[in-house]
A = this chain, B = another copy of it.
Amino acid sequence: MKLTTRGRYGLRAVIDLAVHTDDEAVALSQIAERQGISMNYLEQLIAKLKKSGIVHGIRGAQGGYVLAMPADEISVGDILRALEGDLSPVDCYELNNSDTPCSSSDICVTKYVWKRISDSINDAVDGIMLSDLVAESKKVQAEAGITQVNQSKQTC
């Protein structure tokens, strides 16, 4: 039940992008450096965000990325689902529309458990907007006077 680095790095990258957006596009190299994430890897993550319509890429010199929508219209759920796929704890045909139908869905009891978990996760992440995190981030950074993440490995 752990998120992968895709979700963790990707969310940090989007927050970083949102925080550092003025009129110009933000280059991925800047986000990668500030967040201490390999740029090559970050490219793959931002590709998922682009595919889901959360960010928009601008090619060429002076290019970069911008949010495709206002930060208060992007939920953490949108971001995490783009990066991790659906946030359900199981691949269940009835919950998500999983690829293969489930042979024992008629006598399956655990599906009630999975649905409760799934709903609670999605409710939680859909209730937090990117703008909330941007506001929090600006507040915290103003207090600490730091914009760059520490070198040492982060687990979250």
Contacts and interface: CB of A to CB of B under 8 A. Distances in A.
A155 B110 contact: no
A137 B109 contact: yes
A155 B100 contact: yes
A58 interface: no
A18 to B, nearest CB: 11
Nearest to A11: B110
Contact of A102 (B76, B114, B155): B155
A125 B113 contact: yes
A125 to B, nearest CB: 6
A61 interface: no
A1 B87 contact: yes
Q: Count this chain's copies in the assembly.
A: 2
B128 A113 contact: yes
A47 to B, nearest CB: 20
Interface residues of A, number: 57
Contact of A12 (B110, B137, B140, B153): B110
A119 to B, nearest CB: 8
Contacts of A153: 100, 103
A110 B15 contact: yes
A63 interface: no
Contact of A156 (B106, B107, B111, B127): B111
